[in-house]
Amino acid sequence: MDIWTLPSGWDKRKQRLRRSKYINQDLDCDTVNFELEEKMFVAKRLIDEIGLSINKVSPDRLIELITKEWDKNSDSEIKHKVNNEMTLIEWGETLVNRKMAANVPGSATWLRNGMRAITKFNGTDDIKLYDITVTFLRNFEAYHLGKGNSINCVGIYLRAVRSIYNSAINEDQFVPIKNVFQHYRIPPPMRTKKRALKKEQILKIRDLEYEQDSALWHARNYAMIMFYCRGMNFVDLVKLKVENIRHDRLYYGRSKTRDPLSVHISEPLAKLLQPYLRNKRLTDFLFPTNYDGSSERFEAYKTQRRRMNERLRIIAKDAEIDENVTTYTIRHSWATIAKYLGVSTALISEAMGHNSIITTEVYLKSFDNAALDHVNEKVIL
């Protein structure tokens, strides 16, 4: 290592360069310190292997042995554990294949997008997990923010990479000197404005009339069924089968969390479901737009979702709603209306199938401004 610094730039207690010192401003302190830790690890490992025989080894001979250990090729057992050859793509594709086999294609796509973003930034087809350092991650973050990408976009990429990185560690595929994600903080997501409809607007959609069995008739029905089912996700809607209905309840599992949910079939919901139940067997899909949850049909499902959103835009226009309405808007709207009716966050969380009330709190925070603006106008006007 052809590196030097002044005594003021060296942390004697921690045996590492001080990043905060001016003398080190032109040095990549994280990379240098990482390499120093690597060499220290190898030296300590060698000394442990020598054991009690260390007393028979002269200092010069010990230095020679340590230096040779550093210079050994990557097939060395010690060096392999330090300079582990596992790569982001190699292990990432293992996880992607697992997700596809488990019929969780959305998660597989998330992982692939993270890998693609990292390798594109690195200018290579792949990257060793060992080469993903704190400095690398900071540069990646700065690069994307400099391009104008949102902090949320950067966070999505990096959380995917962290998932792959930590999985490799947990399954003994990678032995890092230190876990870089314990020293680098992924930027937390910023609140984004979630568009939610008022109850009067939902009722306008409900009251629209379309020709029976037309694409817009089905899309209007799907939107209202999702709303009546406590803001059901579109992916859960299109997976429904006749057997999910038992007596006066609809039972289903959330695709995202696998948690079981149960919704009472209210009178307006029963009326909408009735035409879809005619001449159906228990194992039949409930709706003509359907998805079996398989990885093979995931692309077809995405096409169905896109068409649904296109039709919702037409429906919104017909209902004289200026908002860009999507399937997510229906879900957001149910949560918002419930909140403004005074329903507790805990109940909304349970109703929507969130794993944690914290998720619901974050989810609802973006709706606070309208309420605060209303209060402010009452005070000042």
170-200, pLDDT tens digit by residue?
Answer: 998 888 878 999 999 998 877 666 678 999 9
pTM (2 d.p.): 0.62
Q: How confident is the model at residue 160 (pLDDT cuts 50, 70, 90)?
A: very high
Q: b/e per residue, 13-22, with b = 16+ CB within 10 A?
A: eeebbbeebe
pLDDT at 38 over 60: yes
Whether 40 and 104 map to the same domain: the answer is no
Whether 157 and 255 map to the same domain: the answer is no
Task: Identify the domain boundary among 82, 115, 132.
Answer: 82
Tokens of 196: 């939610």
* Distance in angstroms (rounded) separating the CA atoms of residues 66 and 42: 8
Whether 327 and 217 map to the same domain: the answer is yes
* Distance in angstroms (rounded) separating the CA atoms of residues 317 and 324: 9
Whether 225 and 318 map to the same domain: the answer is yes
Q: Across all residues in the chain, what is the average pLDDT?
A: 86
- Burial (CB < 10 A; 0-12, 13-18, 19+), residue 94, is middle
Is residue 193 one of the residues assigned to a domain? no
Whether 344 and 215 map to the same domain: the answer is yes
The CB density around residue 113, as the number of other CB atoms within 10 Å, is: 14
* Amino acid letter, 276: Y
Is residue 194 one of the residues assigned to a domain? no
Helix (H) or strand (E) run with residue 216 in it: helix 215-228
pLDDT in tens, 42-96: 888 888 888 888 888 888 888 888 888 877 644 444 444 444 688 999 999 999 9
Whether 43 and 161 map to the same domain: the answer is no
**Would you state the pLDDT for residue 75?**
46
CATH number, domain containing residue 269: 1.10.443.10
E strand segments, the chain? 10-11, 16-17, 245-246, 249-253, 260-264
* Distance in angstroms (rounded) separating the CA atoms of residues 190 and 172: 34
**Would you state the pLDDT for residue 77?**
47
Whether 249 and 373 map to the same domain: the answer is yes
**Mean per-residue pLDDT for 247-263?**
83
Is residue 191 one of the residues assigned to a domain? no
Instruction: Find the Cα–Cα–Cα–Cα dihedral 84, 86, 88, 89, rounded to 10°.
Output: 160
Whether 340 and 244 map to the same domain: the answer is yes
Task: Identify the domain boundary among 147, 182, 217.
Answer: 182
Q: What percent of the chain clears pLDDT 90, i.e. is strictly above it?
A: 47
**Would you state the pLDDT for residue 154?**
94
Is residue 55 one of the residues assigned to a domain? yes
Is residue 146 one of the residues assigned to a domain? yes
56/266: higher pLDDT: 266
CATH number, domain containing residue 121: 1.10.150
Nearest to 273 by CA among 120, 75, 264, 332: 264
> Among all chains, which residue has been given the structure tokens 């220290």?
40
Domain count, the chain: 3
Q: What percent of the chain clears pLDDT 70, i.e. is strictly above it?
A: 88
SS3 of residue 245 by DSSP: strand
* Distance in angstroms (rounded) separating the CA atoms of residues 316 and 265: 25
**Would you state the pLDDT for residue 370?**
60
Q: How confident is the model at residue 371 (pLDDT cuts 50, 70, 90)?
A: low
Whether 241 and 288 map to the same domain: the answer is yes
Nearest to 221 by CA among 157, 281, 127, 289: 289
- Are the C-beta atoms of residues 219 and 311 closer than 8 Å to each other? yes
E strand segments, 72-228? none
Whether 243 and 370 map to the same domain: the answer is yes
pLDDT at 332 over 70: yes
Q: How far is CA 317 from the centre of its chain?
A: 32
* Distance in angstroms (rounded) separating the CA atoms of residues 44 and 376: 65
- Are the C-beta atoms of residues 111 and 163 closer than 8 Å to each other? yes
pLDDT in tens, 279-331: 999 999 999 988 888 888 888 999 999 999 999 999 999 999 998 899 989 98
Range of the domain at 43: 7-82
* Distance in angstroms (rounded) separating the CA atoms of residues 115 and 67: 35
Is residue 187 one of the residues assigned to a domain? no
Is residue 109 one of the residues assigned to a domain? yes
Whether 267 and 352 map to the same domain: the answer is yes
Is residue 312 one of the residues assigned to a domain? yes
CA angle 115, 121, 124 (to 5 degrees): 75
- Burial (CB < 10 A; 0-12, 13-18, 19+), residue 224, is buried
SS3 of residue 7 by DSSP: helix
pLDDT at 380 over 70: no
Helix (H) or strand (E) run with residue 253 in it: strand 249-253
Task: Identify the domain boundary among 156, 182, 208.
Answer: 182
Tokens of 59: 């200092």
Q: Give me the phi and psi of 223, to 5 degrees please.
A: -60, -45
pLDDT at 167 over 60: yes
Whether 225 and 337 map to the same domain: the answer is yes
